[in-house]
């Protein structure tokens, strides 16, 4: 797989990473340990060198899983993790106090079976702690050798600028896909200006852009898509129009809708590295196939023209989660 460098940081990653959250958290029951390890190691064998986790994904269990899976080739991969929730529990609210950042980093190093974290993100901007204090704390951890690079997740433009002035931000991780394009307004131009890489999560619209989800799909009761307005039955029915258009374009390229969605993201900027997540080996192979598709200028114009006629319906988060992004 091709490699990419995240902005001016010098941090080189595979063009597609693997978002590991869904193996432990968020999308229903956790994947069995051995099956999850097999999936992670298969991703590495297929050229993926960029793996994303967080303390908040099952309160450290996802980090523990990743640590065991990647231990045999730790020096050949880039591991990104995140701090920022009280006790690693999203329900308990935000905590980016310096002492918590340091404690979470030390705990993550043990779980990841590593002496360093390649990319440490603040999971969400904490209005109770100045972004300068957050950046300064991570700067100290970098100087101590525990962390290599600093990142932010779902941060707004002002926070990115202020943090970057204290400790260069290597990457911003935020949602971006064919059905959530809001970062194009202010965030992408800012990242280009400052030389910051972009790591889109949910590049397949939380699974919707694969075409496997329709208005009759029933999610597990622990699947957070049950509370996402965009995934209401009515909105799923309306939003199928987007997937249908994507499927038409994909068929012309002898590809799948998911592959075109990923190829579209990769074509946006050379410093973008999406992190699709999956629990299934066949989906992993499908996603990796998307990294080898190069869309022409004509392809991109066709996609743009088709999507300009479609309105995606429903908010991407319920109100209480939306309040935590873009700060």
Query: Where in the sequence numbering do the catalytic residues fall?
Result: 57
φ/ψ (deg, to 5) at 120: -110, 115
Largest CA distance in the chain: 54
Q: Report how far residue 173's alpha carbon sits from residue 323's, in angstroms, rounded to the nearest whole number.
A: 17
User: What tokens appear for 205 in the block?
Assistant: 């619209």
What radius of gyration do the chain's Cα atoms show? 19
Contact between 303 and 264 under an 8 Å Cβ cutoff? The reply is: yes
DSSP string, 180-208: B-GGGTTHHHHHHHHT-EEEEESTTTTTG
Could you say which DSSP state residue 123 is in?
A: S
Helices and strands (H, E) in the chain, number of each type = 11, 9
Residue pair 172/146 in contact (Cβ under 8 Å)? The answer is no
From residue 88, give the alpha-carbon distance in Å to each of 95, 155, 203, 235, 247: 9, 19, 24, 32, 39
Instruction: For residues 146 and 168, give the distance between their C-alpha atoms in angstroms, rounded to a whole number.
Output: 16
Cβ(73)–Cβ(40) below 8 Å: no
SS3 of 97, please?
coil
Phi-psi region of 217 (alpha: psi -120 to 50; beta: other; left: phi over 0): beta
What span, in angstroms and rounded, lies between the C-alpha atoms of 205 and 230? Answer: 10
Distance CA 85, CA 178 (A): 29
E strand or H helix at 280, and its extent? none
């Amino acid at each position: 797989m091709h490699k990419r460098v995240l902005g001016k940081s010098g941090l080189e990653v595979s063009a597609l990473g693997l978002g590991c959250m869904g193996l432990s958290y968020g999308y229903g029951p956790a994947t069995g340990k051995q099956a999850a390890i097999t999936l992670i190691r298969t991703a590495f064998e297929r050229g993926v060198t960029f793996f994303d986790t967080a303390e908040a994904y099952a309160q450290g269990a996802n980090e523990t899983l990743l640590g065991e899976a990647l231990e045999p080739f730790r020096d050949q991969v880039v591991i990104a993790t995140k701090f920022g929730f009280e006790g690693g529990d999203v329900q308990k609210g935000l905590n980016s106090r310096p002492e918590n950042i340091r404690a979470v980093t030390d705990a993550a190093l043990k779980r990841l079976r590593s002496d360093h974290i390649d990319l440490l993100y603040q999971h969400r901007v904490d209005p109770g702690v100045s972004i300068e204090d957050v950046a300064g704390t991570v700067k100290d951890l970098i100087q101590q050798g525990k962390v290599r690079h600093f990142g932010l997740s779902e941060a707004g433009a002002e926070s990115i600028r202020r943090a970057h002035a204290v400790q260069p931000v290597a990457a911003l991780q935020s949602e971006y896909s064919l059905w959530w394009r809001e970062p194009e307004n202010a965030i992408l131009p800012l990242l280009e200006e400052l030389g910051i890489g972009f790591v889109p999560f949910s590049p397949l619209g939380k699974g919707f852009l694969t075409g496997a989800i329709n208005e009759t799909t029933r999610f597990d009761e622990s699947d957070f898509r049950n509370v996402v307005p965009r995934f209401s039955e009515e909105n799923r029915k309306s939003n199928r129009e987007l997937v249908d258009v994507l499927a038409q374009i994909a068929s012309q390229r002898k590809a799948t809708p998911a592959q075109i969605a990923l190829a579209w993201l990769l074509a946006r900027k050379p410093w973008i590295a999406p992190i699709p997540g999956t629990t299934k080996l066949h989906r992993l192979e499908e996603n990796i196939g998307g990294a080898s598709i190069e869309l022409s200028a004509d392809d991109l114009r066709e996609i743009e023209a088709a999507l300009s006629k479609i309105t995606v319906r429903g908010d991407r988060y319920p109100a209480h989660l939306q309040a935590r992004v873009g700060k």
